Structure 1
């Protein structure tokens, strides 16, 4: 069982996800007046939510342009802290949100922190 220290509070339940990007990343405009997000799909290597039984999952990255160029690469492995509630006090425009329907999640999963394994 993993535990995580937080400065401030995180909304919702937190999970740890380790996975490999399996599909092309859908780029969005830069955040500004509109808050953009994108769904990225991962093949699950390890997931702390033991109730989830599929071998892949889609999670939401907010303002993906804040990550360095080339950060998101198909086939690369990432370790993430995700939450099942939006951490912002506003909504997000997610053009590819329909991808999430195939995963039949009770709640959307939002990335809080991510590390790329080089």
Structure 2
């Protein structure tokens, strides 16, 4: 049994579950490199019972998973600093798993396409293209 879960652990679990091809055993291995030990069944249970994104969730009832899931599907540009921070942290987690990623942020895709086209990319170039 893991004990009390932190928001950082929740973001890590949700980011890997929704954003990578990793299975629960692989998520367990990555989780245990960074946080207090948890078994794959603990992680899966935490996700299924408390973190799985909902459908048609009221704005005041949204959880970490709902915020990440909406970003994943709709690339929502959140105005709320807490929501922006959750997405930022999830994208940082996902940046560690480039070969396992299922989706990328708009800025990552712009930089990747520019790189593949041989362009030199600057922060100003990215900002001009993403608003």
TM value normalised by structure 2: 0.20
- Higher gyration radius (CA): 2
More strand by proportion, 1 or 2? Answer: 1
More helix by proportion, 1 or 2? Answer: 2
TM value normalised by structure 1: 0.22
Q: Which of the pair has the greater relative contact order for Cα pairs under 8 Å at 6+ separation?
A: 1
